[in-house]
Structure formats: structure tokens, C-alpha cells
Structure 1
């Protein structure tokens, strides 16, 4: 209602009240016992009253205009997937109508079947909008390459690779060893212009693993970020490596060192110029061609090369876009790129944004400056991992718990926002957003509307906090490199945390029995198995491990143990091979670590455990009774083994020796335990903690020592 109308309404009300007052005075000239009330009514009917009424009406009009409307979920939240008939209890997505007939989505547009196609589709729908963004320094603004500039430079770089002697073929592998930057994408798209395959390298693999990959894949050329990474490659460069293309300047000493090893270092821009001069005709890939070999770390032995085709990646990206509905990326979106491009979560997110014509801004390379980058970029889309969100949560809670008033306001804000989320309302413009959550939202740029969380499990209280504080759609997914990242994804409107949603439309899921761990598919528990257009082609040059992972019927066995919830969503509850991730995404192989620690003379038995919501591991140790008693006697420390286990000096002795053996065995920092609990009684078959073959019963051990494990973690936080 216009303001003039409000003023007219107030004036009419004032005149009406004045007439009533005059009539009342005419009937009874003596003083009214409620004269004070008359005076108040007179005030309300006067100019100040008109102003007050105008304000109230205006506020009411603002509320009605800005009142949030609930968003309707795209599927029934109590039936989020379809159970196919048959004994295998296969479940499929409800977002693709052909899923019930056993078909999977491969694409959304018949003209977009490869990552070569998808980038050009994005250039078209964006109308040559901004594509790749970066900034030169902390105080500098983002600068951008348009889609057409990106495509031209990528084509020139790919042409340069051909000019350097690489064959335009899906049998040609190009290594890349760099943090996220525009040149990473130029390399990737340049390779796709000539049907080549990208093989990422990354720091956490370690120099030995990088050398192994270069040798196994017979990589002759690696695009390298800077002088330091060039030297790391040269330290153990296999004979196959002949050329390094440096994105940043390298020192003359590094260039000479490379020549001594028969390796040539070229500059990135020089390869672009060479390609532009040669202008080799493009050789686009087919959908069945390999687009990348993504090596996975975290298991025993050498890393395994996961072979993914263009069809695999497009299927995974399209399934997620389909499930996001109206929240899908668009040409107006801006994504922040900081998760490693060497992993498929980030690759898929970026390729989804490029397909839809959005833009991607790269962080400056230092996580501690990520907040500054986001404030400068002001992204609307952001992939994230639990470790980052845990930090945001811990920082806010530390500030809130330091003040009673802040704590009260925070709890009120959380209650109000959580109530809205439960009603399907997602917004960042409420009273509580402005009063309590403004700083959190500004810390991510103030425009975030979509966050995709993956890599490791996220605690329910942290997920709920992030949803309330950021006021954007937060979806959590479960996936593996072998499935091109996405396997399941939570649905918009489902506010309940601690599950990973229903299957995405490019695959189907089933659970199979794990009898040794007492998980059975008939009870809706078992190993998660996946089949679909996102499942990888196999491990590179490793047919044996491929057959171990993909069975004769095409089911990929993930090794994760899941449980179907009544609403058709999946919850990951265990790991079949006892390999687990920490909150930062690093894999832990407890048996390997235990074998290192068993070398200690003080250790008779050890059980290493951890949680996906924690960033470190702990252990339960049974000391060698004879060795410990002998040491205690020499050091004049009295007591039984139970008493000695409670002695801080004994604990320090054993833990220091374990850490020393771990270092000697090459354990990385996150593989070393951060605390131990000493237990006097051995694990045995009789007490149910060992199998008849004397192997540790890990689930039983974890349950048996749950109080001690929780106590150790409480002291570490």
C-alpha cells in the first residue's frame, strides 16, 4: 500500500475519533473520570499517531512483501528413492523417470557428451561471459578471462603440445602438478582439444608415488606450477619424463639441473605461442575416450590409477545438476576454487559450473587467505569439506561461549533459523541473519546460495549450524573417485543431518552381506555396491585389482558399509576393510600403523582407531608386562601392571618409543597417534576381542573401549 494511502487512513481515523469525542462532550459537559485515556486517544489521533500508524503499517507491508515462502521438495521426503523389484533390493533415483526401468542418465543435452562439448556449451549460454578469475596479490581485485579467451588460449596450448611431439590421441597422457589456477584449466581443456588425457599429481602422494605414476603411465611431459615443484619432480624423475612446462619462472640453476637429467623446461606462455603459430587442427574426443586417470592414495602399496571417461564425468555432473533442480548452477553464478583440482569432487563441481556458463575464481594459494579471497570474489557457489566447516563452527562457538549475551542471542537465532529450515525456508535476509550471522556470511563473501559438501562425514550439529548461519542450500554427498565423485546426494528440503541422501540418477545402489562384521542386506545393512554410467573403466594397468573391485555383473564394491534409513536415504556406518578417512580427507590404514608400533619392545598389542569427524588418531595399547615391570624396577617405580598403566611416566615412555618407531617406518604426521590408553589385560578370543585366527575384532574393540576413546578425544580438542 502506498505511503499516501496510509496517511489518508490515519487522517480518517483521527477525524472519526475527534467527532466521537465532541459528541461525548456535548452529552456530558462535566469532566470525564477517564480524561487521561481521552488525552491518550487524542494523541493517537493526532500527527504523532498518524506517523506511528504509518510506521506500523509500513513495517507490516514490508514483512508481507519479504515474507519467505517455503520451497517444495522435488521428491517426497519420506520416500526419497525407488526400490526395484527383485531379490537384490536395488535402489534408484526418483529424479530420472527411466531409473525404474534400470536406465541411468548420461547427459542432459544430446549435443553435450564430452568435457570438450560442455565447455563450449558454457561459452554459448554465458554469451562469452567471464570464465576464469584470479588475483595477483592480497589487495588486488579479481581479473577475468572470458570464455572465448579461455577457449582460444586452451586451443593454442593444446596445439603447442602437439607441436612439441605429443600425439593427439586418448593414449597420450599429460601430467599436471600444480595448485588450482587458470593454467590448470587451460591445460585440461587444451588436452581435450586433442583427445589427450590429464593425469594429476599432488603433494600428499609424496615424491616416490609421483615418480611411480609418471613411470607407470609413461608420461613424457608434466605441466608444473613453480620452481619448487619442478625440483621435486627432478629429484626422482623417471626416464620417461622429457619435458616440464613451468607455469611460473624457474631459476637458472633449476634449468641446468633439468638439462643434466636430459629434461627440458619450457615456459607455459612459450608453448601457447608455439601452438598459435602452428595452429594444429583440433581432434575432439569421443564420449567413450578416457579424459583422466586419477590416482588414489590412502591404501597400502602404490597408488591406483582410476580410469575415467568423458561419459563418466558428464554423467556424474548431469545427475547432480538434475537433482539440484532450481538451485542448479547458472551463467550468473561465481564459484570459489580452493579444494584440490587433483580430486574428482572439485573437478566435477568446476565442470558443472563451466557447463552452465558460470565463472570460477581461484583462491590465492594459501588457505589462511581464503577468507580474503572470498570477500574479494563474493562467490555464490562453493564446494566444501568438513575440515573447513568445522573450523568455522569452532571459531564461532569460541566467540559465543565467551559472552552470556552472545550465547543467548545465538541460541535464539539458531532456534528461529532452524525452525524456518524445517519449514523449507532458505534465506539469509532475516532479522537474525542481520543481527547474529552477518559476520559469518560476510566471511564467505555475503552472496553464497549453494554449498556442496563431500570428502568426509560432517557432524550433524555442524551441518545444522552451517545451514542456519549461511542461509543457503547445503547439500551433502557421498562418493568415490571410482564413481567419478557422486554416488548419493541429499535433497533440498531434507533438514535432517547425518545421512548422505538417495542415489543420484546416473547409478543404482544395493547393499551386500558382510557376514564377518554381522551386516546383512536383509536388515538394510551391508557393503555399498554401485552400478551405472559414473562407474570407472578400471584401474590403469592393474586388471587384478579391477576384478577385485568390479564384479562380473558390473557392480563396483566400494568397501564402505551403509545402512538404508526408512526414508530411502543412505547412512555410511563402517568400512569393510577398516580403512577410514579423517576429517581432513586423509585415509588411515590402521593395520599398517599397528604393525609399525608393534616393533616397540614395550608394546604387546595395539589397537589404532579414529573417527571421520576427527583430525587425528588414538590407540589402545596393551604393554608387554615383562619389559614394563623390568623398566619400572630399574627406575624404582613400584606397582602392579594395572598401577603402572595409570602412571604418566610409563605412558610417556611407551608413546615416545611408538612415535620413534613410526618415524623410522615412514609414517606421516597424521598417521601418528596423538594419545594412547594403556590397558593391562590382553585382547583374547575368550574376551571376544580377537578372532579364532587371532585377528583384532575392530568393531568389538571400538565398542569395548568407547569410554576411553571418547576420553582421549575430549582431551585433544
Structure 2
């Protein structure tokens, strides 16, 4: 498929800056009919789509507990249909909540914290804060207690919006460490016991605050509306290293970033339904939802545990959220897509020979047709209809970000789910905006051209061996510049060195990621500065590159590659795929529970053999291939503190967690 020019260097030099061809005349600062703050943007949507459905939630009809063979108890849910709040109802709820918060003493331009799961009340709270110019501090629901206390103390918020579950499981334990907190508002529609909480802390429901705000004297109070340069959000990143960092995001930053993102999503409008299940405290999910609401889409809420009929919290035989909602749009991180890929491919392996052969022939044929720019309606109906139904059957487009997506997973989504996967690159510091591939681009490993709101340029990193003189394409540290680049880190001058302002007054962020610009102007992320380790003999190993290659191994659900600069070889920790490992154990004549298999030296040998096969096929250098492996029977989740909420590895925490295994694999005493 011939590739047309998507971006070009405005300086004529290989390092850039590169700009999308649609934006060669200038970057898009505002592209929403002059609506230059988030409150104006939402008011405009309410005027246009008033009585149309806006935010949807499913009722919990019943809860059951299910005991697994290993003794673990799982909570299973039976959920009803989605019920919807219209745009007007969401606007009224947000106005009353904002007025209620003001009546409780919340001041404009003073931070207010939200520590809550993704749900309709989260978005209503956000719109309330935007209306009254309360800068909203976002904290991931899965952050550890110390990180939550750190964020609350740094932002000095007096008011906190949360859920009953988080109050009971995390907040209660840290209240003595956050003396500035005076008001806690819980979003659930149920009564809560205040036993065990300090008497000085005012605890009340969101509904009671809305009732307070609905009183005439409060509803008609004078409101200080924000201006574009005002602080809208302090977004705490869960951070793969050290304490969480608060990124300061202005109203103008969010609107510029969204202008860029929306331009790459054709046909966005009231006919679309978006499923929201990623953390709203993550910039990808927040900007995706606000973009959808701006264009009149419905947003139905879900969670990773209730997404599909097979999800862990859905009772067998009942509907998951995708089946009930039938979304047309969704955002995902590679971890979610990789899971879907492995789930479907393991089912394909269980088919009989004829079925398996037919599936493979259809898969390969469709992949070739897609690369030529054609579709295959007959294959879609006969072979892929059931697979497509896993996500409701109606997904027309998916946006993937947060980490590189493997070519096999991307091809799988294009073929089996019959929808383009737009790969994006952006950071919290660039308001989630940077690059996005076009729907018609089926090439892999690339993240597209710069969005119309920003520019991309490369900075030489000679130490790592990346320069603009590299062949066949220029390479270097990726720098993002434009009106979407945020205001810096909250109360952290030292880290603000990563933000630069050029002679023209444009802000830039130095990402620490290494990129390569292709001849058509598309970006490929090839490395990360922090992931590069020099071995004893002087060879550089890119840990992230090795991990992305080895994740294709069917035996691996998750992997962390580790290297010490005083050693001559690489090692790795692996969370194995339970089904695949058990099948391998039977084949090897080994019996036992998953924990027994993971601790068995013979199983380590077999997994290492499979890893080496994938590594050799993928043409990894000999020094990049792990020489030893440690298997983990416990999955890595944000709750364990070993990965972030965006499913990125926390290398420091993983190193500490597996220190004894590292010493064993490196032969230390």
C-alpha cells in the first residue's frame, strides 16, 4: 500500500520539527467554535444535545460469591440494562454539585481532590469543578495509601470526592497523615457509618451536597468562571519511578490536545457510543470521554472486571458490559488487547484441525486484503462474527495508547474485530496528545504523524547511539511542542527542567523516549532512555524492546527483563499464562498447583526454551536474550504496586520484590 506524506519537517532538517501536512499553516489552538474553556465546551454540548442520552450506568441486580478450586473467593455480579442521564440532567447535577461545594467553603482557584473509580459521578464532579473554576486534583483509585497521602498533602486540598469502598479500604488508614482535609464527599447512593473517622471531618453524600447546592440562595450565587490560562487539572501520574508527580494542565492545554485528537477520528457524533472503563484519572480516558461528550456521543461506564461476558466479576451466563452496551468506540491499552488476543488464540488452538485450518486461511487472506486497502465481508460474517461479539459487535474504531502494541496484536484486532486500531503516542505532560495513526494506515510499530495541535522534533542522544544522521531514518529523543504542552509539575521546580520554551515562545516537553521518523512523517517509538542498560562487555540492552518482542510468546502473560551493568547476561521475571503453562507441565510430566509449577526448575528450563525460540525468530541479538528466568504465580496488577494504572512496569518495585530471585539468577551469595 503506497503511503502518502503525512507530516514534514518545517525546517528542512532531518531532526524537524515535523508538522502534520494539514497544519503546515499553523498549529490549531482552538477548534471548537470559539469555546476556549472546558465549562463553555460542555455548555455548548448541552445546548446542542439537551435531551439526548449522555452518561449511562448499569444497576447491580444481585451479588454472589463463588469459591474457586484453590479456595479463593470471587465476587460475581448480575447486572441490569444501562440507564441514562441526558445532557441536561448531567448539566443540572453538575451545577448543583458545584454550588453545594461552594456553599461548603470550596474556593475558586483552590484545589479539590477526586480519588474515585471510573463512573458517571466522576465525570459529573469534573464538570462541576470546571464550571466553578475549582482546579481538580486527580488520584488513581489503585494508588497505594502512601502515594494517596503524598498527593493530598502536596496539593493541600481541603475537600475530597471519593467512593465508600475507597473510604473504607484506603482513606480511613491515612486520615491522620492528611491534616488539611476537612470535607469528604462520597458518591455512592447509600448511608455510611462515620464510626472510626475523626469527629472534625465532615462526611456526607454527593446527593446531600447537590441538595444543598439546589437551594435558591446557593444556586443563584455569583460564579467565577475560568479563563483559558487557568489551571483545570492537577493530574498525578502513577509514575513508573519514585513518588507520583502532579502535572498542571490548563483549560487551553486540554482543548488544544482534544482538537488534535478529534481531527483523527472520522465521523465522531451522536450515533456513537463510547465505553468508559480505563481510569478517568488517566489523561487518555479523560480526554477521550470529554471529546465524546463534546460531540454528542453516549458514554456508558464499565470496569476491566465487567467488560465482557467472560470478565472475572460477571456471573457465568449473564451479560458483560460490552454485550449490554454495544459500543462503537473504545480506548484501550496494549495489555487489554494482548489479553483479548491470547484468549481468542487459545480457543483457536482448541478447535479441530479443519476449523483451525479454515480460521488460519481466512485470517491470512483478510490480512493481505487489508494491506491492499480492501475488506472481506464474507470472512467477516462466517469467521469473525463471534470474535467481534466479544466487544459487543459494533466497535468501529479503537484508540490504543500507553505503550507499544505488538504487530501480532494489532493485526489480530484489525482482522478479527473488523475495526481499525489507531495507535497513539502522548503523555500526561502533553495532555495525551502527540501523534495518532490514520484509520487507513495498517502498518505496524508506528504511532502516526503529529496531531494538528503540536509538533514533534528529535534531539540527538549520542551516548545511546541515536542521532539525526542515522540511516535509513533520523532518530533521537522525542520532543513534543505546542499549545497542548502543559504548565509543568506541581510544586516541583527541579523536574520542570524537562519543559523548555523556544525563541518563538512555544513550550516543549523532553519525553525521554527515543523515536525514529519515517519518510512519510510517521513516528516510531524505538527505545526509552531509562530502559537502556550497559552490560559488562559494553553492549547496550533496551529492556523495553526485548519485553515487547517476548510478549508475543504464548506462554507469557507479562514479563519484566532485568540487567545489571556488572553482569554479562540478561535475566527476566515472567507471569506465565496459566492454561499454557499447565499444558506444558502435562507434556513434561510435571504435576502440581500453579505455584508448584512456577517454582519447578524443569518448568523454568522449558519456558526459557520457548523464550529463546521467539527471541531467535524475532532476530534479537544473543546478548539481548534472557539467560535465566523466574516464574511468578501471582499476576502483576496496579493493586500489587508492581505496575502502574496504565499497566506499565514499575522496575524499581519489581527489582525489590524479586531481589532474592535476582541474587539466585546472578549467582550472588
In structure 2, what is the equivalent of residue 512 of structure 1? Answer: 459
How far the C-alpha of 1:540 sits from its partner, in A, is: 0.7
Aligned to 2:353: 404
- Residue 458 (structure 1) aligned with residue 405 (structure 2): yes
Is 1:392 aligned to 2:340, yes or no? yes
**Partner residue in 1 for 2:429:** 482
* Residue 52 of structure 2 is aligned to residue 126 of structure 1: no
TM-score (norm 2): 0.75
1:567–1:111: structure 2 CA closer, same or farther, 3 Å change rule? closer
2:325 aligns with one of 377, 380, 388: 377
**Residues 243-252 or 341-350, more deviating:** 243-252
**1:177 counterpart = 2:115:** yes
Contact 1:135 1:364 in 2 (8 A): no
Residues 17 and 458, structure 2, Cα contact 8 Å, conserved in 1:
no
The residue aligned with 1:564 is: 517
Measure how far apart 1:135 and its partner are: 0.7
The whole-number CA distance in structure 2 between the counterparts of 1:152 and 1:127 is 11
Structure 1 CA distance for aligned equivalents of residues 323 and 245 of structure 2: 38
Q: Distance in 2 between matches of 1:134 and 1:529?
A: 39
Q: Of 262, 271, 275, which aligns to 1:332?
A: 271
Correspondent of 1:501 among 414, 426, 448: 448
- 1:449 Cα offset (Å): 0.9
Q: 1 CA distance for matches of 2:14 and 2:548?
A: 29
Contact 2:461 2:476 in 1 (8 A): yes
Root-mean-square deviation (Å): 3.4
For the structure 1 residues 435 and 118, does the alpha-carbon distance in structure 2 shift closer, same or farther, using more than 3 Å as the test?
Answer: same
Q: Is 1:100–2:43 an aligned residue pair?
A: no
| Partner residue, 2:484 | 534
| Whole-angstrom CA distance in 1 between matches of 2:411 and 2:24 | 32
CA gap 1:133/1:95 in 2 versus in 1, 3 angstroms? farther
8 Å CA contact 2:498, 2:511 repeated in 1: no
TM-score scaled by length of structure 1: 0.70
Residue 110 of structure 1, CA deviation: 3.4
User: Contact between 1:499 and 1:569, CA under 8 Å: does it hold in 2?
Assistant: yes
More helix by percentage: 1
Per-residue deviation, 1:623: 11
Distance in 2 between residues matched to 1:365 and 1:680, nearest whole Å: 37
Question: Cα deviations across residues 292-350 of structure 1 (Å, max 9, x unaligned)?
Answer: 011112244321110111111111111121123xx242011110000110000001110
Partner Cα separation in structure 1 for residue 324 and residue 147 of structure 2:
36
Contact 1:538–1:546, Cα closer than 8 Å, also in 2: yes
Q: Distance in 2 between the 1:230 and 1:196 partners?
A: 26
Q: Structure 1 508/498 Cα, relative in aligned 2: closer, same or farther at 3 Å?
A: same
CA contact (8 A) 2:18 2:521 kept: no
Aligned residue runs from structure 1 range 181-580, under 5 A: 181-237=119-175, 238-248=178-188, 253=193, 255-260=194-199, 262-277=200-215, 278-279=218-219, 280-324=221-265, 327-363=266-302, 366-367=305-306, 368=311, 369=313, 372-402=320-350, 403-425=352-374, 430-523=377-470, 524-550=474-500, 554-578=507-531
Cα offset, 1:608, TM superposition: 10
Task: State how far apart, in whole Å, the 2-side matches of 1:547 and 1:200 are.
Answer: 23
Residues 364 and 387 of structure 1, relative CA distance in 2, 3 Å threshold:
closer
| Residue 89 of structure 1: how far off its partner (Å) | 3.3
Whether the 8 Å CA contact 1:122–1:358 is kept in 2: the answer is no
Does the 8 A contact of 2:9 with 2:19 survive in 1?
no
Distance 1:538 1:679 in 2: 41
Call closer, same or farther: CA 1:227–1:251 in 2, change over 3 Å.
farther
Could you tell me whether the CA contact under 8 Å between 2:322 and 2:390 is conserved in 1? yes
CA distance in 2, matches of 1:474, 1:623: 41
SS in 2 for 1:361: strand
CA distance in 1, matches of 2:81, 2:481: 45
**Aligned length in residues:** 546
The 8 Å contact of residues 254 and 431 in structure 2, kept in 1 or not, is answered as: yes
2:57 counterpart of 1:116: no
- Between the aligned partners of 2:58 and 2:465, the Cα distance in structure 1 is 54
SS at match of 1:374: helix
Which secondary structure does the structure 2 equivalent of 1:136 belong to? strand
Stretch of structure 1 that moved more, 80-89 or 376-385:
80-89
Query: 2:380 and 2:436 mapped to 1: Cα distance?
Result: 27
Could you tell which deviates more after superposition, 669-678 or 267-276?
Answer: 669-678
Larger gyration radius, structure 1 or structure 2: 1
CA contact (8 A) 1:180 1:365 kept: no
Q: How big is the shift at 1:440?
A: 1.4
Change in 2 beyond 3 A, CA 1:212/1:292: same
Separation in 2 of the partners of 1:108 and 1:575?
Answer: 32
Contact 1:621 1:678 in 2 (8 A): no
Unaligned segments of structure 1, at least 5 residues: 1-72, 580-589, 595-606, 625-646, 660-665, 683-717
SS in 1 for 2:211: helix
Of residues 541-550 and 522-531 in structure 1, the stretch that sits farther from structure 2 once superposed is 541-550
Q: Deviations over 1:129-164 (max 9, x none)?
A: 100000112341100000000000000000000000
Q: Does 1:79 align with 2:5?
A: yes
Partner of 1:145: 85
Q: CA deviation at 1:500?
A: 0.6
